[in-house]
Amino acid sequence: MGRKGIGKLAALYLSNRFFLFSKTATERSAWCLDMTTVSDADVPRLSRFNEDELGIKSHVEWSKFKTGTMIKLMNVDLTNIGFSTIEGLKARLARW
């Protein structure tokens, strides 16, 4: 799990602004995918972003790692997520 990027893809369904922070031992980069300005005919693009402008709430934890990737979602919409999850749980429990 987690090797094919499916978690990042799934996150796009929950948020209309998606920030990706990555760092190696020698460099750092930050990217933004902002779907609030994209129409159905547009092709979404990642834009370089200055991570200092966003402000990382978990900065203390993030700074402990020399390398890694962090994702931040803005404007998360969980509409209908809870109901689907509860119904799925009911179906699984009914099979027992």
Cα separation, 24 vs 21, in Å, equals 11
State mean pLDDT over 10-28: 84
Say yes or no to pLDDT of 66 above 60.
yes
Domain range holding 52?
6-95
CA-based torsion, 66, 2, 17, 14: positive or negative? negative
Phi, psi of 9 (to 5 degrees): -65, -45
Number of domains comprising the chain:
1
Cα separation, 56 vs 33, in Å, equals 17
Binned at pLDDT 50, 70 and 90, residue 86 comes out as: low
Q: Classify residue 50: in a domain, yes or no.
A: yes
Q: Classify residue 1: in a domain, yes or no.
A: no
Q: Classify residue 47: in a domain, yes or no.
A: yes
pTM: 0.63
